[in-house]
Amino acid sequence: MIMTADRIKYLREQANMTQADLARRLDITRSSVNAWEMGISVPSTQYVVELAGMFHVSTDYLLCVDKTATVDIQGLTETDVQMVHMLVEHLRSKNK
């Protein structure tokens, strides 16, 4: 199973960076990067966002979140959004 630690190491290596290089770019210690890559600790939200931007990937990719579909609700009223949620819940219960 792929873990966040594996993704960070893979992306760092693909960018031809050492742990020290990555640490300098993030203004943290090399041992912090090493701990992330060893799975001893996980980066804070701030660093997940910075890593995603630096490596041009999504935070979901870094965190190994399963792919999910999203719906753009821009321009919908609060009532419309509630109706969308109700429809989704109805379809989920119907398809169980």
pLDDT tens-digit readout, 18-57? 999 999 999 999 999 999 999 999 999 999 999 999 999 9
Helix (H, G, I), strand (E, B) or coil at 76: coil
Residue 71 in this model has a pLDDT that exceeds 80: no
Residue 68 in this model has a pLDDT that exceeds 80: no
> Which residue, among 58, 18, 65, 24, has the nearest Cα to 37 in the 3D structure?
18
Kindly list the structural domains of the chain, giving each domain's residue range(s) and its CATH number in brackets, ordered by start.
4-62 (1.10.260.40)
Residue type, 69: A
Confidence band for 95, pLDDT divided at 50, 70 and 90: confident
Phi, psi of 19 (to 5 degrees): -60, -40
Confidence band for 72, pLDDT divided at 50, 70 and 90: confident
Distance of CA 59 to the CA centre of its chain: 2
Torsion over CA: 41, 59, 63, 38 (sign) = negative
Rounded to 10°, the helix 19-26/45-55 angle is 110
